[in-house]
Amino acid sequence: MSRRSRRDRRQRARWVEGLRAGIGVAHLIASRGSTGRVAVFGRVLGARQLVQAALLTRAASPEAHVLGATVDATHGVSMVPLVALDRQTRGFAARQLVVAVVLTALEVGLVGTGRRRPRRR
């Protein structure tokens, strides 16, 4: 991998993790002064997003981003029963499912599919 493509990948990774940190801050701000399950979920998820952004930025390795994508995908899957079964948290869970899908796709986009591209001649 060339120096330029590594630098481009690092810049994209910083953008993705900056987005993640922004989502975490938004969760914390939105849940401030609120009570109930949705507020607790918002605080926990906000803290998790901030910690995950910091760890992935610090690690800056493809393996870390694969792990981050796995965490995001698992979070998305865990939201499906809440969307389907819990009226009180349905809207929150649906938004979380969308966020999880987007962040999973962005993390996978940082590392690719693992298949080698054919060389151009």
Kindly list the domain boundaries of the chain, sorted by start residue: 3-88
* Alpha-carbon distance values, 60 to 12, 25, 30, 67, 110 (Å): 11, 21, 29, 12, 11
Instruction: Say what the pLDDT of residue 95 is.
Output: 93
State pTM to two decimals.
0.82
Q: Please, how many CA atoms are within 13 Å of residue 18, restricted to the half-sphere of its CB? A: 6
DSSP state of 1: -
Quote the CA–CA distance of 46 and 88 in Å, as a whole number. Answer: 19
Q: Going residue by residue through the chain (121 aa), what tens digit of pLDDT does each one get?
A: 566 677 888 888 899 999 999 999 999 999 888 888 889 989 999 999 999 999 999 998 888 999 999 999 999 999 999 999 989 889 999 999 999 999 999 999 888 766 555 566 6
Q: 47 Cβ partners below 8 Å, 6+ apart?
A: 24, 28
